[in-house]
Structure 1
Amino acid sequence: MTISDELDRTRSALQALEKSLVALRNRVGPHLDVLRLLDDVDRCSTDLKRLEQQVRAPHHPGRHDLVVIPDDDRDHGLWGAGDVDHEGVGAPGRRAP
């Protein structure tokens, strides 16, 4: 079975579940648990649509944005100032209140 077939089966199952829950809501009224289940089915349907868009979209390998990390030496001025806090210790020369 292909991914497309699985997505179609999942969509059909969600639609059948929603139909059953609507019928149940019509019989028992707006019971909180039924409303929660309907909300969950709606959220699952939204997630499934998003998944379908991702799976069925054409794949473009190598199209990730690359971050260039320079090979230069780091700027020691950023790290050597006397007012820099030492992680977990605090700044030198200062006392805790």
Structure 2
Amino acid sequence: MSVHDDLTSVQRCLDDLFRTVRRLEQQFGGGLEMRRVRTDADHLRESLALLREAAPTLSPPLRPELVPVPDTPYDSSLWTDSDDEGLGGRDRRAP
């Protein structure tokens, strides 16, 4: 999904949240708890608006530079100072 699609999806969810909060407010009244929920939902709406404004300036994630790996065998002199992995040292027995 693109950033625009994700932001649109979040906006739809927030719209659903606001409708539900309004229904709850009608059922429970405007007590302290409902005011806190409404305030939190308003903060989410404001934060999303700020994010939408910043979205055009957000740069896409950078793709790492690809490094070609040749198909030719490696020089065997690169491995002279290493043990055979999983087999133990040359002068030791494997378990």
Same fold (TM over 0.5): yes
**How far apart, in 2, do the equivalents of 1:45 and 1:58 lie?**
19
**How far apart, in 2, do the equivalents of 1:22 and 1:10 lie?**
18
**How far apart, in 1, do the equivalents of 2:58 and 2:14 lie?**
26
Work out the percentage of aligned pairs sharing the same amino acid: 22
CA RMSD of aligned residues (A): 1.5
Q: CA deviation at 1:31?
A: 2.1
Q: Is 1:22 the equivalent of 2:19?
A: no
Q: CA deviation at 1:9?
A: 0.6
**How far apart, in 1, do the equivalents of 2:37 and 2:18 lie?**
9
Runs of 4 or more off by more than 6 Å in structure 1? none
Q: Is 1:13 the equivalent of 2:8?
A: no
The corresponding residue for 1:87 is none
**How far apart, in 1, do the equivalents of 2:19 and 2:58 lie?**
33
| Change in 2 beyond 3 A, CA 1:29/1:37 | same
2:25 aligned partner, one-letter code: R
Q: Is 1:37 the equivalent of 2:42?
A: no
| Change in 2 beyond 3 A, CA 1:40/1:51 | same
How many positions carry a matched residue from both structures? Answer: 59
2:29 aligned partner, one-letter code: G
The corresponding residue for 2:2 is 2
- List alignment gaps of at least 5 residues for structure 1: 60-97
